[in-house]
């Protein structure tokens, strides 16, 4: 059961501790940088990396510190403006009236404190309008003479982006206001505001389609909506099934409505999609009841909400209180706590990674937690399974806050079936049956076979992945079919595929008429073009893509720069290899052995004959990267299986952008990057409230040079 008010999770406690421990001036400037960065990720890139709850907590800490230390005030602090960023591809729109953010109440006590302030300001508790806080993206819709003339994003609150063409495609946005409603409009021009969102079902469909075609999925419906309204081609937006809920007017003077509640009726009359879940409340108890009901119903709603917005229900009274630099004083957003759910642990399966690492995975009875369906969660390694003592058949607690990776916290002891036994790592590889070893000093178990199909699949996926040879469209499903049909077993086989053969590839499913579903000519054509393009990615990407153990992107680049060709690399001695920056004896050994294994050399030879470039083109000028991560401290834990980077390489990449990399987690750690089989550092981060990023988030940092919110 979730409980309102049980919000003081470890994240928040940790942040508070951290603030006590450091010099306020230092902490304030670190927080500002942090928040600015996350704001940029969230608004400009639509790719946040920490949860809203964590962001809110940083913001709150900064606001509190600034209030306690007025000498640290700065007009450019993120507390002094609405968060946002104006991208460059859409024309800027200056908002006639600023688009504000909302202050948050993280639990019912804070909500009560706000209501008490309202009661004090107005002499008694004013009637308030309670609405669901829709988790989408805010939009301003301008009408002139009753016709939609412009739609804009919030941007930084002062200037947004012109997304008129895209918003016109959203079906529930009226292109004209209904004539019946115009009597109440006092001006020719009127601007309404609301939220554009993607219904949960559409989000799931969109992601399923993205996965099937090998494209990257959106983290949540909010990002999907934000990304969809910022498409260059309105047709793409149109295909995304967006909806809106409209709930505000930019300038109250332009309408005859006396307050938010009455405004909603007018909006509905004017033709807007208005959320039906609203209540006019007169007492704190009624407000609590609304919040509790919203939380209870959250999962059943077809769209995402992340809280409840409470607004003083009189525009005249609102005007008396006005705004802070960031948000109205007359409204508050009650935010839902991070979610924990219980569900059945149906099984613990073992996933075999590209380099043979065996990772236990919790197979759960699917359950919706914090807005997304969770059916699987990594259990990292055997030590973790033991430490948590989770057993097949257990009812387990799954926790997720916003965008954070779901986590199995542990079992509900009283619900354990009598016959549940401690889980064991299998003695043989579940994919190929070969032996499994655990090297001394390592937590991970590995499959010893080089012919393991699970590893082959992972290796093939890795070669086709974006950071490596980037074969656009070559997704997991297609690769799996190519492996299962025996058509592809190593990366050189990709280059023997042709259009005719690919288009006939049996996808292992049947149509309604019982016909086998084939890949089809359109996709086949695109794939062949993508395979062709991948031939010229260059030596560094090929060395990374081929998947030598311990050789991640950075090492591959260093090796390519030093040796210039695969032949020169293959001719190098172990000593020569170990001389390369960042390559120690362990990596040198791995490269040396790889390039002396006949099977591997045969694959390389076939790649060469297929026209894959295995030489370095013009040398890289080696420009220094902008120091966008300076002031941040990272700790790495677990293995980065997606990119195949070693921790040293990952650290080197972060350092190249000015970050510090530390070996242990403390209150000063800015982020912990947790790969597969993350262990105690992960737990420490959670207990100290240090944000934890997964590998995808880490790769985004490398790509953009920006750390998340
Ligand atoms: P935040 O972005 O967390 O500061 O929250 C403020 C945002 O909540 C606003 O800019 C709106 O986009 C959004 N919001 C969602 N539902 C509502 C609502 N019913 N009333 C006001 N704002 C809302």
Q: Show Cβ contacts of residue 300 under 8 Å, excluding neighbours closer than 6 positions.
A: none
Query: Structural domain tally of the chain?
Result: 6
Mean per-residue pLDDT for 175-193? Answer: 87
Which residue puts its alpha carbon closest to atom 18 of ligand 1?
Answer: 133
Q: Is residue 617 part of a domain?
A: no
CA distance 124 to 132: 24
Mean per-residue pLDDT for 226-251? Answer: 91
- Strand pairing category for 147-153 and 137-144: antiparallel
Phi, psi of 650 (to 5 degrees): -60, -45
Which residue puts its alpha carbon closest to atom 23 of ligand 1?
Answer: 133
Is residue 12 pLDDT above 50, yes or no? no
The CATH number linked to 662 is 3.40.50.10190
CA distance 551 to 354: 12
Q: Is the C-beta atom of 139 inside 6 A of ligand 1?
A: no
Phi, psi of 384 (to 5 degrees): -65, -45
Which residue puts its alpha carbon closest to atom 2 of ligand 1?
Answer: 101
Tell which residue, 157, 110, 123, 164, has the closest CA to residue 142.
164
Q: Is the C-beta atom of 263 inside 6 A of ligand 1?
A: no
Q: Is residue 626 part of a domain?
A: no
Question: Ligand 1 centroid vs 606 CA: distance in angstroms?
Answer: 57
Is residue 524 pLDDT above 60, yes or no? yes
Same domain, 170 and 257: yes
Same domain, 199 and 325: yes
Q: Among residues 3, 133, 235, 400, which one is catalytic? A: 133
pLDDT by residue (tens digit) across 413-452? 999 999 999 999 999 999 888 888 887 777 889 888 767 8
Is residue 15 pLDDT above 90, yes or no? no
Is residue 1 pLDDT above 50, yes or no? no
Question: Ligand 1 centroid vs 102 CA: distance in angstroms?
Answer: 6
Q: Is residue 616 part of a domain?
A: no
pLDDT by residue (tens digit) across 285-340? 999 999 999 999 988 999 999 899 999 999 999 999 999 878 999 999 998 887 88
The CATH number linked to 163 is 3.30.470.30
pLDDT by residue (tens digit) across 371-403? 778 899 999 899 999 999 999 999 999 988 655
- In DSSP terms, which residues pair with 436 in a beta bridge? 447
Q: Mark which of 445, 473, 494 sits at the end of a domain.
A: 445
> How high is the pLDDT of residue 86?
35
> How high is the pLDDT of residue 682?
83
pLDDT by residue (tens digit) across 551-569? 888 889 889 988 999 999 9
- Ligand 1 atom having least distance to the Cα of 137: 12
Q: Mark which of 510, 534, 558 sits at the end of a domain.
A: 534
Q: Is the C-beta atom of 131 inside 6 A of ligand 1?
A: yes
Q: Is residue 3 part of a domain?
A: no
Mean per-residue pLDDT for 192-215? Answer: 87
Comparing 259 with 268, which gets the higher pLDDT?
Answer: 259
For the chain, percent of residues with pLDDT exceeding 90: 50
Q: Is the C-beta atom of 133 inside 6 A of ligand 1?
A: yes
CA distance 140 to 414: 52
Terminal Cα-to-Cα distance of the chain (whole angstroms)? 29
Mean per-residue pLDDT for 99-112? Answer: 92
Question: Ligand 1 centroid vs 244 CA: distance in angstroms?
Answer: 12
Is residue 539 pLDDT above 90, yes or no? yes
Question: Ligand 1 centroid vs 133 CA: distance in angstroms?
Answer: 6
Comparing 547 with 40, which gets the higher pLDDT?
Answer: 547
In this structure, the chain runs to a length of 709
Same domain, 132 and 114: yes
Q: Mark which of 478, 499, 534 sits at the end of a domain.
A: 534
> How high is the pLDDT of residue 41?
66
Q: Is the C-beta atom of 134 inside 6 A of ligand 1?
A: yes
Question: Ligand 1 centroid vs 99 CA: distance in angstroms?
Answer: 10
Same domain, 196 and 325: yes
Is residue 499 pLDDT above 50, yes or no? yes
Same domain, 418 and 492: no
Q: Is residue 628 part of a domain?
A: no
Same domain, 559 and 514: no
Q: Is the C-beta atom of 333 inside 6 A of ligand 1?
A: yes
> How high is the pLDDT of residue 238?
87
CA distance 339 to 402: 9
Confidence of residue 16 (pLDDT cuts 50, 70, 90): very low
pLDDT by residue (tens digit) across 597-615? 888 899 999 999 999 999 9
* 133 in active site: yes
Helix axes 476-484, 200-212, angle to 10 degrees: 40
The CATH number linked to 42 is 1.10.287.610
Q: Is residue 94 part of a domain?
A: no
Confidence of residue 13 (pLDDT cuts 50, 70, 90): very low
Q: Is residue 99 part of a domain?
A: no
Phi, psi of 295 (to 5 degrees): -65, -40
Confidence of residue 6 (pLDDT cuts 50, 70, 90): very low
Confidence of residue 707 (pLDDT cuts 50, 70, 90): confident
Same domain, 522 and 559: no
> How high is the pLDDT of residue 184?
85
> How high is the pLDDT of residue 132?
98
> How high is the pLDDT of residue 518?
93
Same domain, 354 and 460: no
Helix axes 52-68, 10-21, angle to 10 degrees: 30
Same domain, 72 and 155: no
Same domain, 546 and 526: no
The CATH number linked to 351 is 2.40.50.140
Domain span at residue 347 reads: 340-445
Q: Is the C-beta atom of 35 inside 6 A of ligand 1?
A: no
Q: Is the C-beta atom of 247 inside 6 A of ligand 1?
A: yes
The CATH number linked to 560 is 1.10.150.20
Mean per-residue pLDDT for 520-547? Answer: 94
> How high is the pLDDT of residue 334?
95
Give the least confident one: 491-500, 664-673, 695-704: 695-704
Same domain, 156 and 225: yes
| Pocket probe mutation, ligand 1, options 82, 132, 133, 153, max atoms within 8 Å of Cβ | 133
Q: Is residue 624 part of a domain?
A: no
Chain-centroid distance of CA 438 in Å reads: 32
pLDDT by residue (tens digit) across 627-662? 889 889 999 988 887 777 777 778 878 888 888 888
Same domain, 420 and 553: no
Its pTM surpasses 0.75:
no
Phi, psi of 609 (to 5 degrees): -65, -25
Give the least confident one: 74-83, 366-375, 506-515: 74-83
In whole numbers, what is the pLDDT of the chain averaged over residues? Answer: 86
In Å, what is the CA distance from 183 to each residue of 188, 270, 308, 365? 11, 10, 31, 54
């Amino acid at each position: 059961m979730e409980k309102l008010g049980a919000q003081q999770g470890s994240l928040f406690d940790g942040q508070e501790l951290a603030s006590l421990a450091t010099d306020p001036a230092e902490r304030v400037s670190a927080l500002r940088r942090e928040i600015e960065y996350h704001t940029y990720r969230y608004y400009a890139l639509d790719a946040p990396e920490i949860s809203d709850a964590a962001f809110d907590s940083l913001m709150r800490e900064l606001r509190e510190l600034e209030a306690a230390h007025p000498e640290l005030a700065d007009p450019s602090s993120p507390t002094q403006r609405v968060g946002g960023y104006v991208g460059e591809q859409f024309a800027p729109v200056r908002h006639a009236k600023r688009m504000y953010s909302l202050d948050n109440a993280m639990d019912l006590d804070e909500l009560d404190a706000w209501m008490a302030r309202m009661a004090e300001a107005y002499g008694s508790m004013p009637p308030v309008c309670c609405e669901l806080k829709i988790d989408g993206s805010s939009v301003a819709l301008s009408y002139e003479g009753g016709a939609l003339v412009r739609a804009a994003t919030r941007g930084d609150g002062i200037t947004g982006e012109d997304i008129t063409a895209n918003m016109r495609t959203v079906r529930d946005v009226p292109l004209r206001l209904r004539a019946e409603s115009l009597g109440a409009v006092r001006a020719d021009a009127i601007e309404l505001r609301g939220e554009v969102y993607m219904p949960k079902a559409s989000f799931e469909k969109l992601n399923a389609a993205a996965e099937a075609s090998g494209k990257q999925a959106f983290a949540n419906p909010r990002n999907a909506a934000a990304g969809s309204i910022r498409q260059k081609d309105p047709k793409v937006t149109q295909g995304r099934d967006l909806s809106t809920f409209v709930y505000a007017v930019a300038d109250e003077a332009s309408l005859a409505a006396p307050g938010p509640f009455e405004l909603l009726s007018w909006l509905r009359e004017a033709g807007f999609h208005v959320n039906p879940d609203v209540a006019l409340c007169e007492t704190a108890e009624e407000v609590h009841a609304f919040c509790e009901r919203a939380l209870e119903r959250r999962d059943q709603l077809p769209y995402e909400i992340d809280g409840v917005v409470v607004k003083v229900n009189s525009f005249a009274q609102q005007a008396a209180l006005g705004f802070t630099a960031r948000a109205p004083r007359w409204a508050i957003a009650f935010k839902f706590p991070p979610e924990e759910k219980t569900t059945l642990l149906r099984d613990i399966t073992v996933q075999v990674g590209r380099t043979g690492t065996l990772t236990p995975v919790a197979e759960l009875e699917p359950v919706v937690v914090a807005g997304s369906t969770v059916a699987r969660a990594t259990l990292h390694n055997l030590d973790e399974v033991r430490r948590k003592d989770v057993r097949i058949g257990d009812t387990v607690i799954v926790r997720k806050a916003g965008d954070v990776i779901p986590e199995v916290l542990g079992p509900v002891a009283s619900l354990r079936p009598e016959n549940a036994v401690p889980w064991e790592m299998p003695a043989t590889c579940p994919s190929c049956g070969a032996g499994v070893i655990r090297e001394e000093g390592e937590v991970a178990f590995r499959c010893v076979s080089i012919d393991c199909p699970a590893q082959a699949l992972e290796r093939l996926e890795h070669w086709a992945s974006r950071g490596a040879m980037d074969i656009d469209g070559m997704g997991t499903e297609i690769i799996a079919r190519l492996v299962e049909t025996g058509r592809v077993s190593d990366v050189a086989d990709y280059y023997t595929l042709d259009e005719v053969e690919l288009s006939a590839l049996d996808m292992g499913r049947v149509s309604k008429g019982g016909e086998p579903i084939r890949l089809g000519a359109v996709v086949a054509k695109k794939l062949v073009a993508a395979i062709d393009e991948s031939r010229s990615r260059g030596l560094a990407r090929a060395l990374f893509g081929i998947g030598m153990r311990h050789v991640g992107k950075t090492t591959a680049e260093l090796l390519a720069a030093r040796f210039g060709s695969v032949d020169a690399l293959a001719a190098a001695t172990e000593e020569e290899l170990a001389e390369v920056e960042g390559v120690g004896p362990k990596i040198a050994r791995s490269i040396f052995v790889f390039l002396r294994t006949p099977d591997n050399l045969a694959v390389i030879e076939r790649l060469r004959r297929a026209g894959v470039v295995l030489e370095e083109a013009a040398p890289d000028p080696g420009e220094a990267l902008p120091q966008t991560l300076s002031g941040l401290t990272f700790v790495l834990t677990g293995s980065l299986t997606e990119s195949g980077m070693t921790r040293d390489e990952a650290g080197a990449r972060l350092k190249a952008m000015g970050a510090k990399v530390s070996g242990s987690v403390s209150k000063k750690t800015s982020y912990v990057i947790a790969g597969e089989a993350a262990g105690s550092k992960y737990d420490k981060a959670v207990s100290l409230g240090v944000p934890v990023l997964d590998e995808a988030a880490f790769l985004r940092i490398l790509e953009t040079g920006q750390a998340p919110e």
